[in-house]
């Protein structure tokens, strides 16, 4: 028997309609690529998004076709978020930091029909325009005055002209909520990038989950500044959650340095922000150097990679800004966990609280997680045992774009779980902590050793610039840790001094079997150590037998 409630699909356009009707005067403030500050209301956004929907139709973009964006966080990008997805077109946000070859490959794979791009990326598009296989129109997201006189791009369209020529009379279509809404590629360390194709349903459910008090806790009185880019998993969903609750939105454009961010935070009364640790490093440095304080910001989500405890301490202790340590993945829309305290934990000692806050947190309703051993058996939640982290939920990937095969692993009940590739512990209260990546963890005699833990300890030595720990083959234990150490310039350190660092800080059987000093450790485009290259270099390395 079916319930007898309204059959109303969860559509992205309904966020815009709600924001226009119930929060029409709320502000959206953007630092533009042109340099100035732009401000308008949700009502204006809705009008221009309707124009965009009509404009896309005029450009010949059909239902479910993809349009690409290469853009910073700003109001025009937001108009595409709603104008494209609302009309049933799939918004494909590209990461401009990728290599041009990869960008072209991704746009081709997605079969993007139109490419929208910010002024910043004009040279990039001029250099690559002829190589895109499916892109029929290029649109520069700028005022007419900023348009180049001569451009190598054939038929280059001015975004403002495009909107001006389109009518703002448009009725958002109703369709199945499982329809694709947006596309974001994730670049693994091996193979080609893979697309994650979100649906209207997954996007709306994620917005509900992310706005809850124990997630981002968003209300109409919040002023939300997403530092995390709109080309990076939809700025963690903030452009959707903000409209859901009617919060003011502030976009930083391309100016992500500490001073520019701080000035915008203060000028616009930002209360909530979200970003990766490296961006906050720059912001904190600026605030510290100039003896400043935050007058309105009261909390921020930090994720993307583990937040250094010193950063949590600085934000909370010195500046009164609550840090919400979070974890997610492109395949998860992205939010999976947020580290919001449980009852009673806020009365623990500072040290005990900090031990909790270092963890990535607990699951939002909509996400379930478990840790499993190599055979897929669920491991205990004791805060000690580590295993591969698997997740499932309505905003988590089933299969990659254009691929029929699924990475999911079925449990005994036939339910599919997405293997995150992360290794983690979960404690009795459900707080999860990432300890490693599955491909980096060292499997010694069936037990796991965290490469990250060993690296962090080695990097605590004053003479060490960088350290990487990889698995080396061992005849008896299968794998044993091999520690690669890059000393600081002009400093020297011995094998025994390094090994002494581990005394009493890890189980004895975790001790690296060997330490090798190297001149350099290869880093990827995002600043992460390329352990796969190191593993290749040290393939066949023979550990000393003791």
How would you write 506-542 as a 3-class SS string? Answer: CCHHHCCCEEEECCCCCECCCCCECHHHHHHHCCCCC
Per-residue x/- track, 372-411, a copy of itself (CB under 8 A):
--------------------xxxxxxxxxx------x---
Helix (H) or strand (E) holding 236: helix 233-236
As measured in angstroms, the least distance from the Cβ of 101 to a copy of itself is 25
The radius of gyration of the chain from alpha carbons, rounded to an integer in Å, stands at 24
Per-residue x/- track, 320-349, a copy of itself (CB under 8 A):
-------------x------xxxx--x---
C-alpha to C-alpha distance for 114 and 92, rounded to whole angstroms: 10
C-beta separation of 384 from 390 below 8 A: no
| Degrees to nearest 5, angle at CA 378 with 375 and 383 | 120
Helices 42-58 & 75-86 angle (0-180, nearest 10): 60
C-beta separation of 474 from 449 below 8 A: no
Question: Which residues pair with residue 158 across a beta bridge?
Answer: 140
Question: Among residues 34, 108, 143, 214, which is the contact residue for a copy of itself, using CB under 8 A?
Answer: 214
Per-residue x/- track, 247-276, a copy of itself (CB under 8 A):
-x----------------------------
Which 491-510 positions form the footprint of a copy of itself (CB under 8 A)?
A: none
Q: Which residues are catalytic?
A: 186, 331, 443, 448
Give exposure, 125-148, as e/b (b: 16+ Cβ within 10 Å): beebbeebebbebbbbbbeeebbe
As measured in angstroms, the least distance from the Cβ of 220 to a copy of itself is 5
520 binds a copy of itself (CB under 8 A): no
Per-residue x/- track, 427-446, a copy of itself (CB under 8 A):
-xxx----------------
Which span (46-54, 245-253, 434-442, 538-546) binds a copy of itself, by CB under 8 A?
A: 245-253
As measured in angstroms, the least distance from the Cβ of 8 to a copy of itself is 4
Which 15-54 positions form the footprint of a copy of itself (CB under 8 A)?
A: 15, 17-18, 21-23, 25-26
As measured in angstroms, the least distance from the Cβ of 256 to a copy of itself is 26
Which 86-145 positions form the footprint of a copy of itself (CB under 8 A)?
A: 90
For a copy of itself, the closer of residues 62 and 155 by Cβ is 62
Integer CA distances (angstroms), 375 to 98, 371, 427, in order: 36, 11, 21
Helices 277-289 & 258-268 angle (0-180, nearest 10): 80
As measured in angstroms, the least distance from the Cβ of 408 to a copy of itself is 8
As measured in angstroms, the least distance from the Cβ of 393 to a copy of itself is 6
Residue of 448, 466, 444, 470 whose CA lies nearest to 456: 466
Which span (28-36, 68-76, 193-201, 301-309) binds a copy of itself, by CB under 8 A?
A: 193-201
Question: Among residues 245, 323, 324, 389, which is the contact residue for a copy of itself, using CB under 8 A?
Answer: 245
As measured in angstroms, the least distance from the Cβ of 406 to a copy of itself is 9
Give exposure, 484-495, as e/b (b: 16+ Cβ within 10 Å): bbbbeeeeebee
Which 54-73 positions form the footprint of a copy of itself (CB under 8 A)?
A: 64
C-beta separation of 133 from 108 below 8 A: yes
Question: Could you tell me how many residues of this chain bind a copy of itself (CB under 8 A)?
Answer: 76
Question: Among residues 93, 202, 425, 433, which is the contact residue for a copy of itself, using CB under 8 A?
Answer: 202
C-beta separation of 212 from 364 below 8 A: yes
Which 171-190 positions form the footprint of a copy of itself (CB under 8 A)?
A: 171, 176, 178-181
Q: 């194709």: which residue's tokens?
A: 197
85 binds a copy of itself (CB under 8 A): no
């Amino acid at each position: 028997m079916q319930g007898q409630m309204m059959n109303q699909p969860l559509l992205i356009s309904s966020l815009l309609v709600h924001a226009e009707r119930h929060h029409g005067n709320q502000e959206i403030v953007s630092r533009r690529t042109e340099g100035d500050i732009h401000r308008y209301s949700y009502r204006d956004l809705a009008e221009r998004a309707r124009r965009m929907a009509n404009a896309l139709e005029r450009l010949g973009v059909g239902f479910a076709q993809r349009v690409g964006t290469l853009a910073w966080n700003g109001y025009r990008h937001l108009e595409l978020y709603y104008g494209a997805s609302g009309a049933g077109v799939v918004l494909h946000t590209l990461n401009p930091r990728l290599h041009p070859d990869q960008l072209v490959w991704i746009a081709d794979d997605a079969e993007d029909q139109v490419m929208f791009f910010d002024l910043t990326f004009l040279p990039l598009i001029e250099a690559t325009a002829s190589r895109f296989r499916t892109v029929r129109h290029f649109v520069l997201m700028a005022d007419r005055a900023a348009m180049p006189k001569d451009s190598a791009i054939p038929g280059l369209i001015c975004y403002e002209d495009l909107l001006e020529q389109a009518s703002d009379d448009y009725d958002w279509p109703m369709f199945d909520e499982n329809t694709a809404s947006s596309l974001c590629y994730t670049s693994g360390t091996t193979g080609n990038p893979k697309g994650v194709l979100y649906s209207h349903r997954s996007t709306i459910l994620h917005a509900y989950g992310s706005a809850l008090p124990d997630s981002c806790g968003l209300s109409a009185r919040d002023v939300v500044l997403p530092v995390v880019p709109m080309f990076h998993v939809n700025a963690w969903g903030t452009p959707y959650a903000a409209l859901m609750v009617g919060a003011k939105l502030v976009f930083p454009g391309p100016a992500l340095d500490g001073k520019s961010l701080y000035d915008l935070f203060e000028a616009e009364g930002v209360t909530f922000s979200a970003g990766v640790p490296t961006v906050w490093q720059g912001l904190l440095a600026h605030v510290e150097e100039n003896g400043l304080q935050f007058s309105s910001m009261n909390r921020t989500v930090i994720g993307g990679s583990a937040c250094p405890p010193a950063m949590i301490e600085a934000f909370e202790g010195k500046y009164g800004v609550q840090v919400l340590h979070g974890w997610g993945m492109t395949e998860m829309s992205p939010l999976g966990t947020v580290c919001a305290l449980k009852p009673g934990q806020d009365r623990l000692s500072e040290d005990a609280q900090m031990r909790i806050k270092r963890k990535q947190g607990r699951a939002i309703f909509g996400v379930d997680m478990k840790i499993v051993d190599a055979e897929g058996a669920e491991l205990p939640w004791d805060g000690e045992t580590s295993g591969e982290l698997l997740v499932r939920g309505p905003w988590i990937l089933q299969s990659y774009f254009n691929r029929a095969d699924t990475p999911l692993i079925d449990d005994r009940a036939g339910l599919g779980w997405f293997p995150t590739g992360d290794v983690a512990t979960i404690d009795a209260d459900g707080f999860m902590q990432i300890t490693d990546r599955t491909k980096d963890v060292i499997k010694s005699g069936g037990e796991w050793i965290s490469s990250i833990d060993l690296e962090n300890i080695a990097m605590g030595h004053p003479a060490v610039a960088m350290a990487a720990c990889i698995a080396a083959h061992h005849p008896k234990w299968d794998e044993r840790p091999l520690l690669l150490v890059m000393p600081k310039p002009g400093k020297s350190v011995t094998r025994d001094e390094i090994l002494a660092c581990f005394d009493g800080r890890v189980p004895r059987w975790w001790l690296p079997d060997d330490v090798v000093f190297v001149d350099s450790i290869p880093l990827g485009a995002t600043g992460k150590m390329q352990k796969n290259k190191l593993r290749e270099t040290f393939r066949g390395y023979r550990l000393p037998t003791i």
